[in-house]
């Protein structure tokens, strides 16, 4: 007689094999070990930050996977990923990786991240997280203390600087609306929103504009304040813009000071911006997604002076605290301002709940325990250990800048305050500007194609520039000099082939 397999039996056997349960401890160990071995083996083989693979090269391999036909086991699936992903992945620990704000990651954070995935605590409520909630809260308080935000400060971990900025501006919007309503009781929301403006420098992050759109203000609500030669917000221009808004009867709802612009690492004059915000009753948000690492710098904390006067601060530990993605924090001076995102759901976090429920402070509901990575890192390296690595990459930029500055064939935009260098190759023979643009774009492309070096690229005053974002504390000055040598070599080859 044949036994009939019922769906319930199938589910039971699948579950018995694949769920993390008491009985599956050995399978768990084996699966994790296979994954760790795969990465360790790749690390042994990696010689370049990327292979130069093109989308078309990989697309057919990915396309060929039949997602409706499973492989025999995890080892086989990981092996397949080795081909589809790891073989050609972009590696941020390689000194040739210089493109974006990606950091090599520290080992304690990786171990802690494995715990976060396995235990799967969710930080929205105490009854899904227990101790994890307290760990996050303590870490938020610690960061807020480092920023100097005072005794009422609070905050929450988020998925990234984009989300931290969005939440900060949401709080600012609702504070402004509450203020306006006191003057105009009964005013409807759309009437209030139309008059709100956000001011940020002309090299502020685009997520500020995205936030304005999401918050119902429209992108035109963001006023771009001009920057000086160091790409820092001009205080006189900010004062003029604020006065101008007042004259038009518009409400400067927030000023965003960027502490570490994405392109230049420039730091806006935070104390002067704080003064103007106080004068105009505007919310002062500091976007320190990049510069936040200075909070633990043993030698350069002073560069963030003025951050202690912010109403809110964005910090991205997945940039300058060497954490795996995602790890970002929004800090606020007055914890009570977080009420603007609070919603009490009867099933989740009723108003009468006696326990701390972090969902009261967050735009997310189910939320990963990202704080545990940074916590574990701090417990192992200490703040000074992380800060020393931040200092190292800032030093590296400072040491390399003079070489670019005096070199006859390089044009460098600003003397770095953080760890980026933005420059272009300008040949001795005079070329039309458009050709110089093409030359620099070519250098970036041809270097990337070899896989040896991944440079960043950006546009400055309408012209094409190259960029190195230094976030690897093991990179040496000599290695950077070698990269500049490669830039020259590829530039000369382009010139010769013309
Ligand atoms: C990277 C960055 C952001 C966005 O952060 P994500 O974590 O990428 O979402 C915002 N502001 C600045 C200044 C940044 O450098």
CB 146 within 8 A of CB 166: no
44: which strand partners? none
Ligand 1 pocket member 160 (CB < 6 A)? yes
Q: Tell me if 325 is assigned to some domain.
A: yes
Would residue 426 count as lying in a domain?
A: no
Q: What is the value of pTM for the model shown?
A: 0.96
Average pLDDT over the chain, rounded to an integer: 96
The count of other CB atoms within 10 Å of the CB of residue 90 is 16
Alpha-carbon distance of 318 to 266, in angstroms, equals 19
pLDDT at 247: 97
Residue 81 lies inside a defined structural domain of this protein: no
For residue 161 and ligand 1, the question of a CB distance below 6 A is answered with yes
pLDDT at 55: 94
CA pair distance 310, 106, nearest whole angstrom: 29
Residue 349: give the domain boundaries: 112-379
Q: CA-CA distance, 32 to 34, in Å (whole number)? A: 5
Residue 39, in any domain of the structure: no
pLDDT at 3: 60
In this predicted structure, what is the pLDDT of residue 165?
A: 98
Write out the two tokens for 387. Answer: 């800060």
289 in ligand 1 pocket by Cβ < 6 Å? yes
Q: How many domains does the chain have?
A: 1
Query: What does the pLDDT read at residue 4?
Result: 62
261-287 in b/e form (b: 16+ CB < 10 A) is: bbbbbbbbbbebbbbbbeebebbbbbb
Q: Does any ligand 1 atom lie closer than 6 A to the CB of residue 101?
A: yes
Task: Give first-to-last CA distance, the chain, whole Å.
Answer: 80
Give the residue-averaged pLDDT of 268-281.
98
**Which parts of 128-202 are beta strand (E)?**
154-158, 196-201
Query: Cβ distance 101 to 471 under 8 Å?
Result: yes
- Encode pLDDT of 87-141 as tens digits: 999 999 999 999 999 999 999 999 999 999 999 999 999 999 999 999 999 999 9
160-174, 180-194, 243-257, 457-471, range with the lowest pLDDT: 180-194
Q: Other CB atoms closer than 10 Å to residue 299's CB: what's the count?
A: 13
Contact 275, 282 (CB under 8 A): no
Q: Is 187 helix (H, G, I), strand (E, B) or coil?
A: coil
Q: What is the dihedral of CA 484, 489, 494, 498, to 10 degrees?
A: 130
Distance 290 CA to ligand 1 centre (A): 7
Question: Quick one: pLDDT at residue 5?
Answer: 65
Model confidence at 190, in pLDDT bands (50, 70, 90)? confident
Q: Report CA-CA distances (Å) from 87 to 83, 363, 432, 440.
A: 5, 36, 41, 28
pLDDT at 2: 58
Report residue 260's pLDDT band, with 50, 70 and 90 as the boundaries: very high
User: Is a pLDDT exceeding 70 seen at residue 1?
Assistant: no
Ligand 1 mean position to 179 CA, how many Å? 29
Task: Please report whether residue 64 resides in a domain.
Answer: no
CATH number, domain at 338?
Answer: 3.40.640.10
Q: Is the separation of the CB atoms in 91 and 50 below 8 Å?
A: yes
What is the C-alpha separation between 289 and 375, in angstroms, rounded? 18
What per-residue confidence (pLDDT) applies to 376? 98
Q: What are the start-end ranges of the E strands in 302-453?
A: 312-315, 328-332, 410-412, 420-425
Give the atom of ligand 1 at the shortest distance from the alpha carbon of 258.
13
> Residue 236: what pLDDT?
98
Question: Which distant-in-sequence residues (6+ apart) come within 8 Å of 10 by Cβ?
Answer: none
Judge whether 493 lies within some domain.
no
> pLDDT of 329-367, one tens digit each?
999 999 999 999 999 988 898 988 889 999 999 999 999
Tens digits of residue pLDDT in 437-448: 999 999 999 999
Per-residue confidence band for 6, with pLDDT thresholds at 50, 70 and 90: confident
From the CA of 483, how far away is ligand 1's center (Å)?
Answer: 26
Burial class (CB in 10 A: 0-12, 13-18, 19+), 431: middle
How far apart CA 228 and CA 406 sit, in angstroms, is: 22
**Which atom in ligand 1 lies closest to the alpha carbon of residue 290?**
15
Q: Give 325's DSSP letter.
A: S
Other Cβ atoms closer than 10 A to 17: 10
More confident residue, 153 or 1: 153
How many angstroms separate the CA atoms of 154 and 151, rounded? 9
pLDDT (mean) for 260-275: 98
429 within domain boundaries = no
The confidence score (pLDDT) of residue 7 equals: 77
Establish how many alpha carbons lie within 13 A of residue 350's alpha carbon, considering only the half-sphere containing its beta carbon: 5
Identify whether the C-beta of residue 431 lies closer than 8 Å to the C-beta of residue 494: no
Of residues 479, 292, 321, the one with CA closest to residue 399: 479
Quick one: pLDDT band at residue 498, thresholds 50, 70, 90? Answer: confident
C-beta separation of 127 from 372 below 8 A: no
Q: What angle do CA 413, 319, 217 make, to 5 degrees?
A: 80
Strands 454-460 and 97-98: parallel
Residue partners of 99: CB distance under 8 A and separation at least 6: 454, 455, 456, 467, 469
Please choose from 205, 260, 264, 320 the residue to mutate so as to test ligand 1's pocket, defined by most ligand atoms within 8 A of CB: 205
Q: Name the percent of the chain lying above pLDDT 70.
A: 99
Contact in structure between 105 and 473 (CB atoms under 8 Å): no
Q: Is 385 exposed, middle or buried (0-12, 13-18, 19+ CB in 10 A)?
A: middle
Q: What is the mean pLDDT of residues 416-426?
A: 97
Contact between residue 469 and residue 99 where contact means Cβ atoms under 8 Å apart: yes
Is pLDDT at 268 greater than 90 in this prediction? Answer: yes
Reported as a pLDDT band with limits 50, 70 and 90, residue 300 is very high
287 CB near ligand 1 (under 6 Å)? yes
Residue 214 belongs to some domain of the structure: yes
Cβ(91) – ligand 1 distance below 6 Å: no
226 has a pLDDT exceeding 80:
yes
């Amino acid at each position: 007689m044949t036994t009939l397999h019922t769906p319930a039996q199938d589910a039971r056997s699948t579950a018995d094999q694949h769920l993390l349960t008491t009985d599956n401890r050995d399978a768990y160990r084996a699966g994790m070990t296979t994954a760790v071995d795969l990465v360790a083996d790749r690390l042994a083989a990696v010689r370049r930050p990327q292979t130069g693979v093109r989308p078309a090269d990989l697309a057919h391999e990915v396309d060929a996977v039949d997602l409706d036909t499973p492989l025999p086991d995890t080892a086989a699936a990981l092996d397949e990923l080795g081909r589809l992903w790891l073989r050609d992945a972009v590696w941020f620990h390689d000194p040739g990786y210089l493109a974006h704000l990606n950091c090599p990651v520290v080992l304690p954070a990786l171990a802690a991240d494995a715990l976060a995935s396995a235990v799967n605590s969710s930080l929205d409520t105490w009854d899904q997280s227990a101790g994890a909630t307290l760990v996050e809260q303590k870490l938020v308080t610690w960061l807020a203390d480092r920023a100097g935000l005072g005794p009422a400060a609070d905050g929450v971990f988020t998925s990234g600087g984009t989300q931290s900025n969005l939440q900060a501006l949401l709080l600012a919007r609702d504070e402004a609306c509450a203020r306006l309503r006191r003057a105009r009781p009964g005013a409807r929301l759309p009437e209030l929103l139309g008059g709100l403006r956000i001011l940020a420098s002309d090299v502020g992050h685009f997520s500020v504009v995205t936030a304005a759109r999401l918050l119902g203000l429209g992108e035109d609500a963001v006023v771009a304040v001009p920057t000086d030669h160091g790409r820092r917000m001009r205080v006189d221009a900010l004062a003029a813009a604020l006065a101008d808004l007042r004259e038009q009867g518009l409400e400067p709802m927030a000023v965003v000071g960027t502490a570490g612009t994405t392109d230049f690492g420039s730091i806006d004059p935070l104390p002067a911006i704080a003064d103007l915000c106080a004068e105009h009753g505007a919310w002062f948000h500091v976007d320190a997604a990049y510069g936040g690492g200075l909070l633990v710098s043993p030698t350069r904390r002073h560069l963030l002076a003025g951050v202690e006067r912010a109403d809110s601060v964005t910090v991205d530990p997945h940039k300058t605290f060497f954490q795996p993605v995602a790890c970002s924090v929004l800090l606020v001076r007055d914890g009570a301002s977080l009420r603007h995102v609070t919603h009490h759901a009867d099933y989740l976090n009723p108003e009468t709940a006696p326990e701390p429920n972090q969902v009261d402070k967050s735009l997310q509901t189910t939320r990963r325990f990202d704080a545990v990575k940074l916590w574990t890192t701090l417990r192992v390296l200490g703040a000074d250990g992380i800060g020393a690595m931040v200092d190292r990459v800032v030093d590296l930029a400072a040491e390399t800048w003079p070489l670019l500055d005096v070199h006859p064939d390089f044009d460098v935009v600003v003397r770095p305050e953080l760890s980026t260098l933005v420059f272009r190759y300008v040949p001795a023979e005079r070329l039309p500007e458009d050709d110089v643009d093409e030359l620099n774009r070519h250098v970036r492309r041809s270097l990337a194609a070899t896989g040896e070096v991944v440079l960043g690229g950006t546009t400055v005053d309408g012209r094409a520039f190259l960029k190195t974002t230094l976030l690897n504390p093991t990179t040496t000055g000599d290695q950077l000099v070698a990269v500049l040598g490669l830039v020259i070599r590829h530039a000369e080859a382009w010139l010769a082939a013309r």
